[in-house]
Amino acid sequence: MLQYSIISIIVVKSKYILWKILFEINKEFYEILVNLYGHKKNVIILNESAENIKEVIKKYNIKRVDYIVSGLPFISLPKEVSEKILKNTADVLKDHGKFITF
Ligand SMILES: C[S@@+](CC[C@H](N)C(=O)[O-])C[C@H]1O[C@@H](n2cnc3c(N)ncnc32)[C@H](O)[C@@H]1O
């Protein structure tokens, strides 16, 4: 699932995954993701920037998240975009949540 997705938010309860939210700003990659995984239960695929992570989880009534898995190219993103994403992801992670980047 992560092949085209820049960032995934995972919310877990008692070992079960409640939500997976994927952000991909590239329209073509986003459409591939929708075709591959759009039918899956509790998977939300968004064609928007990971910068909007806070607004998005609020919309789905999620307070904090367990895991954030990211393939974002932080080195090549504008500094302010990277900083906003890193700050917002840190803000939404649970105390023992994990940020995984590859
Ligand atoms: C280098 S690719 C990594 C793809 C995937 N992680 C992999 O290893 O195959 C980076 C991806 O991040 C997406 N991307 C870049 N900035 C983004 C942002 N602010 N929010 C969401 N996706 C973004 C790009 O569209 C691109 O698909």
Q: Domains in the chain, start-ordered, CATH in brackets? A: 7-101 (3.40.50.150)
**Ligand 1 pocket, residue 25 CB under 6 Å:** yes
**Ligand 1 pocket, residue 82 CB under 6 Å:** no
CA atoms 42, 43, 49, 51: torsion sign: positive
| Alpha carbon of 30 to ligand 1 centroid (Å) | 10
Q: For the sheet with 7-13, list strands across it.
A: 43-46, 16-23, 7-13, 65-70, 93-101
Query: What pLDDT was estimated at residue 14?
Result: 61
- Please, are residues 67 and 100 in contact by the beta-carbon 8 Å criterion? yes
Per-residue pLDDT tens for 11-62? 776 677 788 899 999 999 999 999 999 999 889 999 999 999 999 999 988 9
Pocket perturbation via mutation, ligand 1, pick of 4, 9, 24 by most ligand atoms within 8 A of CB? 24
Q: Which residue has the tokens 């649970």?
A: 94
Query: What pLDDT was estimated at residue 100?
Result: 92
Pocket perturbation via mutation, ligand 1, pick of 7, 72, 75 by most ligand atoms within 8 A of CB? 72
Candidates 65, 61, 71, 60; CA nearest to 91 is: 65
Radius of gyration of the chain (CA): 13
- Please, are residues 66 and 15 in contact by the beta-carbon 8 Å criterion? no
How far, in Å, are 36, 39, 57 from residue 53 at the CA level? 22, 22, 6
Query: What pLDDT was estimated at residue 13?
Result: 65
